[in-house]
Amino acid sequence: MTTTNEEAVSRFVERFAAELTEAGMQRMASRVFAALLASETASMTSAELAERLQISPAAVSGAIRYLSQVSMVSRERDPGTRRDRYVLHNELWYETFTRRDQVLIRWEKVLRDGVEALGPDTAAGARTAETAEFFDFLQKETLGLMDRWRQHKEAQGAGTPDAL
């Protein structure tokens, strides 16, 4: 990779990480995720991440812990070594949104219980009912969207293991 490309990649990593941070992801986790996304193999060791991002091994460790907890990366052993390699999950966004769908179902259930507790004829109950309806709608639309994504990928022949 040329120096210009390395600089462009670094700018991309930092820009995308800033967007992820703005959306609510932890700052270091955003940077580590963006670096993994931008790497040719979608995987790096802790030392490679620390060097690429100019951060401490402890910062890498904390970011990886978070990304592992939210199932965005996994840890694999480098063959023939004692080093761990951190790898983006295949079909990362599909899996992330599928898990998010389960959250929407739980939220909707709690909100429907809240409507009963607040009273369906109260302003708070009506507001909570509308919120539950929104999450029900969003969950149904997300399922349809995910099905269309699968069909889109299959039509393009992009169902390879490396596809995100």
What is the pLDDT at residue 158? Answer: 55
The stretches in the chain having pLDDT less than 50 are 1-4, 161-164
In 13-97, at which residue ranges do the beta strands (DSSP E only) sit?
A: 43-45, 73-77, 84-88
Tokens of 87: 């790898």
Q: Residue 128 is encoded by which pair of tokens?
A: 């909570």
Residue-level pLDDT at 112 = 93
Amino acid 60: pLDDT: 96
pLDDT score at 59: 96
* Enclosing H/E stretch for 62: helix 57-69
Token duo for residue 164? 């995100």
Question: Is the four-CA dihedral 60, 65, 67, 68 of positive or negative sign?
Answer: positive
pLDDT at 103: 78
- pTM given for the model: 0.71
**DSSP structure class, residue 8:** H
Question: What is residue 142's predicted lDDT score, i.e. its pLDDT?
Answer: 85
Quick one: residue 70, left, alpha or beta (phi over 0 = left, psi -120 to 50 = alpha)? alpha
pLDDT of residue 70: 84
Element (H, E) at 121: none
Model pLDDT, residue 3: 47
Q: Six-digit token pair at 77?
A: 């052993």
Max CA-CA distance within the chain?
66
H helix and E strand count, the chain = 6, 3
pLDDT at 51: 95
> What are the C-alpha distances in Å from 117 to residues 32, 104, 113, 123, 128?
43, 20, 6, 12, 10
**Among 6, 70, 56, residue whose Cα is nearest residue 28:** 56
